[in-house]
Structure 1
């Protein structure tokens, strides 16, 4: 029997194809490390959690609005308001595929997927959640021709709602994957092209340049953070996609910190900003959740600081996992309520899952 197992192992290893991994280095790159008992040389945030946030909603944070229709309360909703007509044309076309996933078509013609997760969490986590009734979502149908036309994929971090090995397999090894440092070991061996990047490094994909920038978050591939070997072993961040002198910013999962000012200092504004507004509320985790996820008012303040010409929020919705949210659309209700309260001048584009827009 042991010989049969050995032969099977040899056969399976012979069927795998090593991945092609490149790690970018740059004179401007930034990488911050931390050491804890038992875990050395782990990644850390660029700046620490602020002692006080620039703006915080205290009461009446979820006002009713005629711009959102819901089946009940703030659950299973559709935004029915009109988005502003923008005179400025950036040349970016995008489709929101739910939660944190976007399909981006750049002004120079590339199709880039951001944090593509097509189904549920990877197995066996999805099975555990299905059995226990937690963190299971409605799925957004992808366009039938999307997977065959993708040039590149960028990932913000390793968490299950942003990184899916099942989706990687469906995209295949003809696509170029761009990731934070420490990601390659999480890919299956099948000849994938992977470029790993530190903060403030850049890489080209045809006519576009991808800049990897900081976020204020953490990483792991387990349910409870800070107790296993992969705690903060891979980096996290956001992305700037630059094409034909136009820039799109994707913040990734992040809390608000001084890293926003650092990004704003290095880039002269953004034509489009994709900003997270969900997963900041938790009865037991409390303030820690806001450390790693923006509230809607945090996102609005950050968009102004970044000089965003337009802001598109994400993270809420009927296809979200509702991790740390009151309901599927509570973050959107709060966003619309806070927008006039903080006197934001950044135009908002609100999408329902699956919708496309040309900017």
Structure 2
């Protein structure tokens, strides 16, 4: 091969490699929180704002899962659909919300920006999906997925944390590198290489997409990607977030995976009353380690109390459903049954709008 031709090929390869590298910027600094441990176990790793034993305002003890005629299921008490006449709360925010299943949401902002929260199309990343199935886990019915034109029109994709049921590398490759990716601190090194534009954000950091403001807010959870017990190489190496969208004086809050803690009150104090709250209500139950599951996941009554503390004008629950993995739940819709019962027992005044996967609502 001619030397000039060889040098041209090498230069082209280098240019191609550079063009496929990801662009990562960190948004932190004054007015934000980077919650790193400074001593003790896991020094230099992230931690929750309010660790330690929890006291919960409300805990269901009786009649938690009474059947509801509003929930129509098949003979195996799964593949359920919620069927009720619901009044759309008069929030007049301009946000359009579609539930994709589990924690995934497609959002259109009042001025037309298109966004995704925690999209997971199918199963866990391979080979973990197979390992999960072999270990006896529930193999998920695929969730709903945005259309090709919607994916091409995305402005941003936001992830709350790196757990497999919230973040899938195969999905990122399908979504592509046109939108911005907004993630917690330390998250970017989990991305595949492909020219992705990634912003890592500290708690209370903000960024703009046109005139849409996106705030990273605290959650009470943890992070890990390695699913082998007692191996902690990546334990809390990456942060976890909730997200708050703000446009035209209206707000939409996505809590991410979180347990109940004082961080909800902090968010209300900083941003005021929240118009739309997307709140998790599942994965809190486990026969052997229920205390830990609830520590990092809200029960339905925890979610109702948190929504009240946030002064949510409407709460949309998620985490249950036909496209869930049923991790830490009695059944696919047990969390929704508990929500319906606790809403009555608590005489909760929080407006709740219940969706089936794939449904869309204009708020």
Contact 2:314 2:353 in 1 (8 A): yes
Aligned-residue offset at 1:38:
7.3
Aligned-residue offset at 1:148:
1.2
The structure 2 residue matched to 1:344, chosen from 348, 353, 357, is 348
The answer to whether residue 78 in structure 2 is matched with residue 99 in structure 1 is: no
Superposed counterparts of 1:167-246, under 5 Å: 167-224=171-228, 227-246=231-250
Q: Which residue of 2 aligns with 1:45?
A: 48
Contact 2:101 2:144 in 1 (8 A): no
Normalised to the residue count of structure 1, the TM-score between the two structures is 0.93
User: Aligned equivalents of 1:106 and 1:353: distance in 2?
Assistant: 20
Alpha-carbon displacement from aligned partner over 1:85-139 (angstroms, at most 9, x marks no partner): 3233110001100000000000021001001111110111012123344142001
User: Aligned equivalents of 2:221 and 2:41: distance in 1?
Assistant: 21
SS in 2 for 1:40: coil
Alpha-carbon displacement from aligned partner over 1:238-288 (angstroms, at most 9, x marks no partner): 000111110000000000011111111111111100000000000111201
Superposed counterparts of 1:284-303, under 5 Å: 284-303=288-307
User: Aligned equivalents of 1:77 and 1:322: distance in 2?
Assistant: 13
User: Aligned equivalents of 1:244 and 1:26: distance in 2?
Assistant: 26
The answer to whether residue 274 in structure 2 is matched with residue 270 in structure 1 is: yes
Aligned-residue offset at 1:36:
7.3
The structure 1 residue matched to 2:333, chosen from 324, 329, 335, is 329
Aligned-residue offset at 1:15:
8.0
Alpha-carbon displacement from aligned partner over 1:301-359 (angstroms, at most 9, x marks no partner): 10000000000000000000011100000000000000021121111110000001101
Aligned-residue offset at 1:168:
0.5
User: Aligned equivalents of 1:239 and 1:33: distance in 2?
Assistant: 20
Matched pairs, number = 351
Gaps of 5+ in 2: 1-9
Q: Which residue of 2 aligns with 1:3?
A: none
Bigger shift: 135-144 or 277-286?
135-144
Cα–Cα, structure 1 residues 349 and 167, in superposed 2: closer, same or farther, change >3 Å? same
Q: Which residue of 2 aligns with 1:255?
A: 259
User: Aligned equivalents of 1:259 and 1:171: distance in 2?
Assistant: 32
User: Aligned equivalents of 2:73 and 2:326: distance in 1?
Assistant: 16
Gaps of 5+ in 1: 1-6
Indicate the RMSD between aligned Cα atoms, in angstroms: 2.0
Cα–Cα, structure 1 residues 125 and 30, in superposed 2: closer, same or farther, change >3 Å? same
The answer to whether residue 23 in structure 2 is matched with residue 20 in structure 1 is: yes
User: Aligned equivalents of 2:351 and 2:76: distance in 1?
Assistant: 27
Q: Which residue of 1 aligns with 2:129?
A: 126
Contact 1:56 1:297 in 2 (8 A): yes
Q: Which residue of 1 aligns with 2:309?
A: 305
Contact 2:177 2:197 in 1 (8 A): yes
Cα–Cα, structure 1 residues 197 and 84, in superposed 2: closer, same or farther, change >3 Å? same
Bigger shift: 134-143 or 111-120?
134-143
Normalised to the residue count of structure 2, the TM-score between the two structures is 0.92
